[in-house]
């Protein structure tokens, strides 16, 4: 049985959404028509390019590069800061249009969605154009829609010429439309794999596709087999309706100045623990592995983790474990980024466990009380006294709390 899958991808998402918002609020300038970017605050050392306009792309500005280098490529580049709430709203508005065409929608990221449009063979192209045009007319931003027999080919198709286009990529079109492309344009071929492939003379998706299957498997193992299948258009995952279960919850921060003392680092760890704890309790979940990651002033990243005997959702337990991991791994060097992640999640419904963890449960009752106050009166309505006059935010983490958002995965 053949399927028809759509992949809907917002063109220059953050930048388009910012442009539309500003036009709707009286701006005379359409950011999409000038060299412009959405970029992070350089003073906070968050200065990277989050999105770029098509004119900015002509200056060879890349998403993810530093704002500093983008400005060197284009000195009169216009830069605006990100506003995530606006983007969530725009994304939600797009999804509500999509919902009118099919109930089989997988929200893949804030600006991408898959839609299963099988059994509508006769008019899928009309539908795609209608969706695209409705989003443009009703919401003010453009999308590309890729159509294919599976999610991979639909996604590859949406990446063809932009903006405001519908493309198909069916099996019989692979050779003509996908195989001539540079191998790094294939989903899941990043810079490391590109180098390896180029090193053996493989430059196009077609060349990868024609390799011997056993050869690529013995060379690049599972990831090799995956990209070989992709290069041949082989992929059969479902469009997953609703939210995909979360596997881990983590937050991190790049500090405006290097952290140089253990006392400072501990406060940052506590502030991140507050956020991770609040999020895991909000999910009614708990986790058994706590990981701490550090990035030093030379951008070298390393991490330690610990599996707990009993899964936890307690801020205090997360913090104590994180602190222990930090103390065992930190050699005193200046740090620019600190992260905590909680994984191996399980449901928090089994309260019989509390027989074994009285200490943890008392913490959790206090945590939940504080959570309620913070939801009601704001994050800073209840803070730990050690943060007073510390110059460190008492809760650290950049996730929007309204709804745990199905984040993207590197799997389709």
Partner DNA sequence: TCTGGGGTCCTAGGACCC
State the first-to-last Cα distance of the chain, in angstroms, to the nearest integer: 20
Residues 136-155 that bind DNA (CB under 7 A): 155
Catalytic entry in 18, 112, 264, 274 = 112
Phi, then psi, of 284 in degrees rounded to 5:
55, 45
Give the shortest CB-362-to-DNA separation in angstroms: 25
Q: How far is Cα 404 from Cα 402, in angstroms, rounded to an integer?
A: 7
Q: Which of 188, 262, 324, 382 binds DNA (CB under 7 A)?
A: 188
Residues 210-269 that bind DNA (CB under 7 A): 221-223, 246-254, 256-257
Would you count residue 95 as binding DNA (CB under 7 A)?
no
Neighbours of 70 (CB within 10 A): 24
Would you count residue 301 as binding DNA (CB under 7 A)?
yes
Give the shortest CB-126-to-DNA separation in angstroms: 27
Whether 112 is catalytic is yes
Q: Please, which residue, 93 or 188, has the CB nearer to DNA?
A: 188
Distance of CA 347 to the CA centre of its chain: 24
Q: Please, which residue, 60 or 303, has the CB nearer to DNA?
A: 303
Would you count residue 299 as binding DNA (CB under 7 A)?
yes
- Count of residues that interact with DNA, criterion CB under 7 A: 67
Q: Please, which residue, 35 or 82, has the CB nearer to DNA?
A: 82
Q: Which of 73, 304, 320, 384 binds DNA (CB under 7 A)?
A: 304
Q: Which of 62, 78, 262, 289 binds DNA (CB under 7 A)?
A: 289
Q: Please, which residue, 66 or 171, has the CB nearer to DNA?
A: 66
Considering only 28-36, 115-123, 366-374, 394-402, which stretch makes contact with DNA by CB under 7 A?
Answer: 394-402
Question: Binding string to DNA for residues 322 to 361, with x set by CB under 7 A, is what?
Answer: -------x------xx-x-x-x------------------
Q: Which of 192, 358, 376, 389 binds DNA (CB under 7 A)?
A: 192
Quick check: 74 and 61 in contact, CB under 8 A? yes
Give the shortest CB-119-to-DNA separation in angstroms: 27
**Token duo for residue 183:** 């191998």
Q: Which of 58, 307, 362, 372 binds DNA (CB under 7 A)?
A: 307
Residues 6-65 that bind DNA (CB under 7 A): 40, 42-43, 45-48, 50, 63-64
The 3-state secondary structure of the chain reads: CCCCEEEEEECCHHHHHHHHHHHHCCCCCCHHHCCEEEECCHHHCCCEEEEECHHHHCCCCCCCCEHHHHHHHCCCCEEECCCHHHHHHHHHHHHHHHCCCCCCEEEEECCEEEEECCCCCCCHHHHHHHHHHHHHHHHCCCEEEEEECCHHHHHHHHCCCCCCCEEECCHHHHHHHCCCCEHHHCCCCCHHHHHHHHHCCCCEHHHHHCCCHHHHHHHHHHHHHHHHHHHCCCCCCCCCCCCCCCCEEEEEEEEEEEECCHHHHHHHHHHHHHHHHHHHHHCCEEEEEEEEEEEECCCCEEEEEEEEEEEECCHHHHHHHHHHHHHHHCCCCCEEEEEEEEEEEEECCCHHHHHHCHHHHHHHHHHHHHHHHHHHHCHHHCCCHHHCCCCCCCCCCCCCCCCCCCCCCCCC
Q: Which of 19, 31, 112, 360 binds DNA (CB under 7 A)?
A: 112
Q: Which of 2, 60, 69, 380 binds DNA (CB under 7 A)?
A: 69
Q: Which of 57, 134, 266, 306 binds DNA (CB under 7 A)?
A: 306
Give the shortest CB-230-to-DNA separation in angstroms: 10
Residues that bind DNA (CB under 7 A): 40, 42-43, 45-48, 50, 63-64, 66-69, 108-112, 155, 187-194, 221-223, 246-254, 256-257, 275, 279, 289, 299, 301-307, 329, 336-337, 339, 341, 343, 397-399, 407-411
Active site residues: 112
């Amino acid at each position: 049985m053949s399927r028809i899958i759509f992949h809907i991808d917002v063109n220059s998402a953050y930048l388009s959404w910012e442009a539309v918002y500003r036009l709707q609020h009286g701006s005379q300038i359409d950011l999409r028509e000038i060299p412009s970017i959405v970029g992070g605050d350089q003073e906070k050392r968050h200065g990277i390019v989050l999105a770029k306009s098509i004119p900015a792309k002509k200056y060879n500005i890349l998403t993810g590069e530093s704002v500093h280098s983008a400005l060197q490529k284009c000195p009169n580049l216009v830069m605006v800061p990100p506003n995530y709430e606006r983007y969530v709203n725009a994304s939600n508005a797009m999804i509500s249009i999509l919902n009118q065409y099919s109930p089989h929608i997988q929200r893949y990221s804030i600006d991408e969605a898959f839609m299963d449009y099988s059994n509508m063979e006769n008019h899928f192209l009309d539908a795609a154009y209608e969706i695209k045009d409705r989003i443009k007319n009703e919401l003010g931003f453009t999308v590309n829609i890729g159509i294919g027999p599976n999610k991979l080919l639909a996604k590859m198709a949406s990446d063809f010429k932009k903006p405001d286009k519908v493309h198909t990529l069916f099996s019989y079109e692979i050779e003509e439309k996908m195989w001539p492309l540079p191998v790094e344009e294939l989903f899941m071929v990043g810079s490391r794999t590109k180098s390896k492939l180029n090193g053996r003379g493989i430059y196009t998706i077609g060349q990868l596709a024609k390799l011997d299957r056993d050869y690529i498997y013995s060379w690049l193992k599972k990831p090799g087999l995956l990209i070989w299948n992709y290069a041949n258009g082989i992929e059969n995952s479902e469009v997953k309706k609703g939210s995909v279960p979360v596997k881990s919850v983590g937050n991190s921060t790049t500090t405006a100045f290097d952290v140089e003392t253990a006392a400072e680092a501990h406060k940052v760890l506590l502030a991140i623990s507050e956020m991770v704890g609040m999020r895991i309790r909000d999910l009614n979940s708990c986790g058994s592995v706590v990981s701490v990651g550090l990035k030093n002033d030379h951008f070298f990243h390393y991490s330690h983790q610990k599996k707990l005997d009993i899964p936890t959702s307690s801020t205090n337990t997360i913090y104590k474990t994180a602190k222990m991991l930090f103390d065992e791994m930190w050699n005193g060097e200046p740090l620019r980024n600190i992260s905590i992640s909680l994984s191996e999640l399980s449901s928090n419904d089994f309260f019989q466990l509390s027989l074994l963890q009285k200490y943890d449960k008392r913490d959790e009752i206090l945590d939940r009380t504080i959570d309620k106050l913070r939801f009601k009166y704001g994050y800073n309505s209840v803070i730990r006294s050690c943060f007073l006059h510390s110059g460190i935010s008492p809760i650290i983490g950049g996730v929007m709390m309204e709804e745990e958002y199905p984040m993207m995965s590197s799997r389709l």
